[in-house]
Amino acid sequence: MRRKFIVLAAGVLVAAACGGSQPEPVTPAPVAIDSTAIKEQMRQDSIAAAERARAEAERRATEAALAAAALITNQLTAEVHDMINFDFDRSDIRMEDEANLDRKAAIMMANAAVRMRIAGHADDRGSDEYNLALGNRRAESAKRYLVNQGVDGSRINIVSFGEERPLDPAQTEEAWTKNRRDEFEMTAGASQLVAPN
Amino acid sequence: MRRWIGAVALVLVAGSLAAQDSVPPVDQGVRVGIEYTPGVRPRLVVFPGPGYDSVRPILQRDLDYSDRFELIYVGYHPDGASAGGVNYQLYRRLGAQYGVELTPSGSATVVRLHDLDAGEVRSHQTVIFPPPDAPEFRMAVHQISDEIVRWVTGTPGYAASRLAYVGRKRLWVVDSDGVGNRSLTGADEAVLSPAWSPDGRRIVYTRFDEGMGSLQLLFLASGSTVTVPSTRSGLNYASAFSPDGRILAYTRSGEGGTDVFRVDVGDMCCLQRLTVGRYADNLSPTYSPDGRRIAFVSTRAGPPQIYVMSADGTDQELLASFDFGATGSSFAPEWSPDGAQVAFHRAIEGRFQVFVLDLASRRVRQLTSAGRNEDPTWAPDGRHVAFVSTRSGRRQLWIVDTETGRIRQLGTPDAVRLPSWSRRFGGAAGVNH
């Protein structure tokens, strides 16, 4: 900073010396000029700092809002992904799963961009090929339920895994119960979800 | 022409050998309507002699597995040989009714069936066996085995055939005697529902992918596959060729449920829906050998049961009768090659057992009771049925003779699913008359 002012002062001297035929008494550049510049600089700096603080606050607020939204999205995603289970060789929705599906329907209605894939699964006690049909029927059942709640059917796609992808390969009643299920996956519009009213 | 040099010094190793590898007791979880009496089968001996050490064991095992004969095993002792024809009297003393003789004739082999009681050659055929290390060697022996069965019984055996099945999500094939297991697909695809074309040149299977499945036509000679165009979307499985090999009937699941469709795979055209189940599933079609009817599974009455329709989808009716609430669910029908029976599996006390429906009487017969038994598939002789059973502790292939109840395991390295038995491989290379 200091060095710059000295150079500047020297420059003024040279300019004056080479200037005109009418020599003026040479006086050194007053220090007061520099002081104004510094004040101006400080003013600018303080504006910038305020600007930065405001941006930072804004960024933090946005971040917090995003985090809150992400939290909501995560919660809603988990609710959509929550599986439902079926009785042996049955594809009708059990009463205890209706609230679960009602919630999924509400979330889909509040988020029009969401598309869903429902995958039906079976335990391995049934026939291999029949289980593909059974899984399909289980996926269809959940889709029909959601459509009856007002979700546009074209937003839901169904597939069946039959007994090809068990959650638990054990040959126990507990494992079979787990494996008879519908899985729900959002295939589009799931990056940010809003909670239904 | 060289005749086989007289059988002298026949060492009867049969007694002990036969006992250890012969007929298992009938009560291995098999129930059939006919009492099994080993004595009623004619005794057959494959004459010992020099050479044919690779042929003879295959022949003997095929004839044994045909369940048409009681095999007598005799050893060969060249020092005791003397000139002369077949010593009919000696073999008759062993209780044999039939003898199979192999004699070289130039580069060919003359196969003769001797009727030992009549003391004469009943049938014969000249065969050129490929070298024992050639890939087609075993099948050539299987084909002559099937001929020998035909000479005696009027209908050929089933040795010259293969089974396709799913193991560790891959497609496998194995010869009917359990030899030559090999995988035809890689680790990059998951296979379901293989089925042979009637000419044995193609296998159709489902390539299962994330809840969807397309039908693949695998051409065995080239190893190339073609996707059936109508199955590029949705889940398509449980398919069956029509007897002329042109039409594929298959199951399709998706929006609107599960139904049976048919498509012309000769021209890849003319898709037709054969069933319309509103809230019922229709699946697992199987053609009658005359191609005019299709048996299938339907849930139209609630529990899955076996129905039948005309090949165009008309005249749908119940095929295997059931008592609502009492009879177990029934699955996986397969029409027998002679058209007389349909095999399927049905839940009995929560476990699957293999049944056979006789179409003339419409009566069902339970074939199995030990372990879980499912997905029956007919041998080309219309008499043997292969199925998946857990009786040994894991899912393995077993073959039962529906006439005698005799049962054997067909060894495979992995757990087995969804077997399909080919028809007989005919037009033998190297076989002429």
**B121 in the same domain as B245:** no
| Nearest by CB: A130 against B235, B255, B331 | B331
- Per-residue pLDDT, A23: 63
**B401 in the same domain as B271:** yes
| Nearest by CB: A133 against B192, B253, B255 | B253
**B60 in the same domain as B182:** no
What are the backbone angles phi and psi of residue B339, rounded to the nearest 5°? 80, -5
* ∠ CA B321-B323-B329, rounded to 5°: 80
**Is B7 within the bounds of a domain?**
no
Residues of B within 8 A of A159 (CB-CB) are 210-212, 235
**Pairing label, strands B43-46, B98-105:** parallel
Q: Is the separation of the CB atoms in B228 and B215 below 8 Å?
A: yes
- Per-residue pLDDT, B414: 81
**Is B1 within the bounds of a domain?**
no
Residues of B within 8 A of A146 (CB-CB) are none
For residue B387, give how far its alpha carbon lies from the nearest alpha carbon of chain A (Å): 13
Model confidence pLDDT, tens digit, residues B388-401:
999 999 899 999 99
**B23 in the same domain as B125:** yes
CATH number, domain with residue B41: 3.40.50
**Is B266 within the bounds of a domain?**
yes
Question: For residue B62, what pLDDT band results from cuts at 50, 70 and 90?
Answer: very high
* Average pLDDT of every residue of chain B: 88
Q: Which residues pair with B110 in a beta bridge?
A: B103, B126
**B129 in the same domain as B95:** yes
Q: Which residues pair with B108 in a beta bridge?
A: B105
Question: For residue B7, what pLDDT band results from cuts at 50, 70 and 90?
Answer: very low
Q: Is the separation of the CB atoms in B196 and B203 below 8 Å?
A: yes
Residues of B within 8 A of A164 (CB-CB) are 190, 192, 208
Percent of chain B with pLDDT over 70: 88
Question: For residue B24, what pLDDT band results from cuts at 50, 70 and 90?
Answer: very low
**B144 in the same domain as B173:** no
Residues of B within 8 A of A119 (CB-CB) are 211
Q: Which residue has the higher pLDDT, A108 or A37?
A: A108
- Per-residue pLDDT, B15: 36
**Is B334 within the bounds of a domain?**
yes
- Per-residue pLDDT, B34: 44
In one-letter notation, the amino acid at residue A111 is: N
**Are residues A130 and B257, on separate chains, in Cβ contact within 8 Å?**
no
In chain A, the residue whose alpha carbon lies closest to the alpha carbon of B191 is: A164
CB pairs A-B closer than 8 Å: 73
Identify the domain containing residue B211 by its residue range. Answer: 162-432
**What integer is the mean pLDDT of A38-48?**
91
Question: What single DSSP character describes residue B230?
Answer: G
For chain B positions 331-350, those within 8 Å of chain A (CB to CB) are 331-332, 345, 350
Percent of chain A with pLDDT over 70: 83
Query: How many other C-beta atoms lie within 10 A of the C-beta of residue A189?
Result: 15
Residue A56: which H helix or E strand, with range? helix A31-81
Q: Is the separation of the CB atoms in A130 and B284 below 8 Å?
A: yes
**Is B18 within the bounds of a domain?**
yes
For residue B238, give how far its alpha carbon lies from the nearest alpha carbon of chain A (Å): 7
Residues of A within 8 A of B193 (CB-CB) are 129
Q: Is the separation of the CB atoms in B282 and B298 below 8 Å?
A: yes
Question: For residue B10, what pLDDT band results from cuts at 50, 70 and 90?
Answer: very low
Question: What single DSSP character describes residue B75?
Answer: B
Token duo for residue A157: 């796609």
Nearest to B24 by CA among B64, B62, B59: B64
- Per-residue pLDDT, B87: 83
**B227 in the same domain as B367:** yes
Burial of residue B365 (CB within 10 Å: 0-12, 13-18, 19+) is middle
**Is B105 within the bounds of a domain?**
yes
Last residue of a domain, one of B95, B125, B153: B153
Q: Which domains are present in chain A?
A: 67-188 (3.30.1330.60)
**What integer is the mean pLDDT of A105-121?**
98
**Is B376 within the bounds of a domain?**
yes
Question: What single DSSP character describes residue B406?
Answer: -
Residues of A within 8 A of B255 (CB-CB) are 140, 158
Last residue of a domain, one of B125, B153, B181: B153
What are the backbone angles phi and psi of residue B75, rounded to the nearest 5°? -85, 165
**B166 in the same domain as B140:** no
ipTM tops 0.85:
yes
**B238 in the same domain as B141:** no
Q: Which residue has the higher pLDDT, A115 or B426?
A: A115
Report yes or no: B251 at the A interface, CB cutoff 8 Å.
yes
Model confidence pLDDT, tens digit, residues B212-255:
999 999 999 999 999 999 999 999 999 999 999 999 999 999 99
What are the backbone angles phi and psi of residue B108, rounded to the nearest 5°? -100, 175
Question: For residue A16, what pLDDT band results from cuts at 50, 70 and 90?
Answer: very low
- Per-residue pLDDT, B77: 59
**Are residues A133 and B258, on separate chains, in Cβ contact within 8 Å?**
yes
CA atoms of B164 and B284, how far apart (whole Å): 17
Considering Cα of A173, then A177, then B208, then B386, what sign does the dihedral take? positive
CA atoms of B81 and B76, how far apart (whole Å): 9
Last residue of a domain, one of B130, B153, B176: B153
- Residue ranges in B113-235 assigned as alpha helix (H): 137-153
**Is B417 within the bounds of a domain?**
yes
